[in-house]
């Protein structure tokens, strides 16, 4: 087990757990996209670490591009009103697009993004989410085709996920101690 960062309450997914999950997702995507030359769209910045691992587990031709969005939501919750900070450099008309996200919470960010990309007439748009947050009484606005793992309704950091740009480099997925985001 990795050494635990002092601000992390608990490790949910170790390096080994993550490797197994990403390998499983990569195999599924390889089977589904073998002859589709997918365009992998990584949503900056959180999905960068997952995307870098996932693409190396996909054994078929593919291309990647990046988008950066910022949610107008206050604090931790997204409002569904999304501003494009960096758009794709690739034309997606007729392409099979696979959006890669770090974590799906309400799904509002992704549903906005999917609608925007669908307006550009791609052949398909699907989502691979590394994590889905299970929030009681909440049905996410988007159903990802590929899901890595479910996590509880707490603040999750590591493996690309941040709090205030910190902790992205932790090699595991952990729950942040409330003291760490209240201070």
Report how far apart the first and last C-alpha atoms of the chain are (Å, whole number): 28
Closer to Mg ion at the Cβ: 46 or 148?
Answer: 46
Instruction: Indicate the residue whose CB is closest to Mg ion.
Output: 46
Among 49, 104, 117, 128, binds ligand XMP (CB under 6 A): 104
Closer to ligand XMP at the Cβ: 51 or 109?
Answer: 109
Q: Given the structure tokens 């919750």, which residue do they identify?
A: 77
From ligand XMP, Mg ion, none, interface partner of 144 (C-beta below 5 to 8 A by class)? none
**How would you class 32 by CB atoms within 10 Å of its CB: exposed for 0-12, middle for 13-18, buried for 19 or more?**
middle
From ligand XMP, Mg ion, none, interface partner of 69 (C-beta below 5 to 8 A by class)? none
User: Measured between alpha carbons, how far is residue 105 from residues 141, 142, 154, 165 in Å?
Assistant: 9, 10, 11, 18
Give the range of 23-31, 32-40, 55-63, 151-159 binding ligand XMP by CB under 6 A: 151-159
* Of residues 20-79, those binding Mg ion (CB under 5 A): 46
Give the range of 1-9, 28-36, 106-114, 115-123 binding ligand XMP by CB under 6 A: 106-114
From ligand XMP, Mg ion, none, interface partner of 105 (C-beta below 5 to 8 A by class)? ligand XMP
Under the criterion CB under 6 A, does residue 8 sit at the interface with ligand XMP? no
Under the criterion CB under 6 A, does residue 51 sit at the interface with ligand XMP? no
Does residue 105 carry a catalytic annotation?
A: yes
Buried b (16+ CB within 10 A) or exposed e, 85-118: eeeeeeebeebbbbbbbbbbbbbbbbbbbbeebe
Q: Among 84, 85, 61, 82, which residue's Cα sits nearest to residue 73?
A: 82
Strand pairing category for 146-152 and 156-157: unpaired
Closer to ligand XMP at the Cβ: 126 or 162?
Answer: 162
HSE-up of residue 8 (Cα within 13 Å, Cβ side): 25
Interface residues toward ligand XMP, by CB under 6 A: 46, 78, 101-109, 133, 155-157, 161-162
Residues lying near Mg ion in the complex (CB under 5 A) are found at 46
């Amino acid at each position: 087990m990795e050494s635990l960062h002092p601000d992390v309450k608990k490790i949910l997914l170790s390096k080994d757990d993550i490797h197994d999950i990403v390998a499983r997702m990569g195999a599924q995507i390889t089977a589904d996209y073998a002859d589709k030359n997918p365009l992998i769209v990584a949503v900056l910045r959180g999905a960068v670490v997952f995307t870098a691992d996932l693409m190396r587990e996909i054994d078929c031709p593919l291309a990647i591009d990046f988008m950066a969005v910022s949610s107008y939501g206050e604090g931790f919750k997204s409002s569904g009103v999304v501003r494009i900070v960096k758009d794709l450099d690739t034309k997606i008309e007729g392409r099979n697009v696979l959006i890669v996200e770090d974590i799906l919470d309400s799904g509002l960010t992704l549903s906005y993004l999917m609608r925007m990309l669908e307006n550009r007439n791609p052949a398909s748009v699907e989502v691979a989410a590394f994590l889905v947050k299970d929030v009681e009484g909440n049905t996410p606005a988007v159903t990802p085709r590929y899901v890595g793992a479910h996590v509880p309704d707490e603040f999750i950091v590591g493996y690309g996920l941040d709090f205030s740009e910190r902790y992205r480099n932790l090699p595991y997925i952990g729950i942040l101690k409330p003291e760490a985001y209240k201070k």
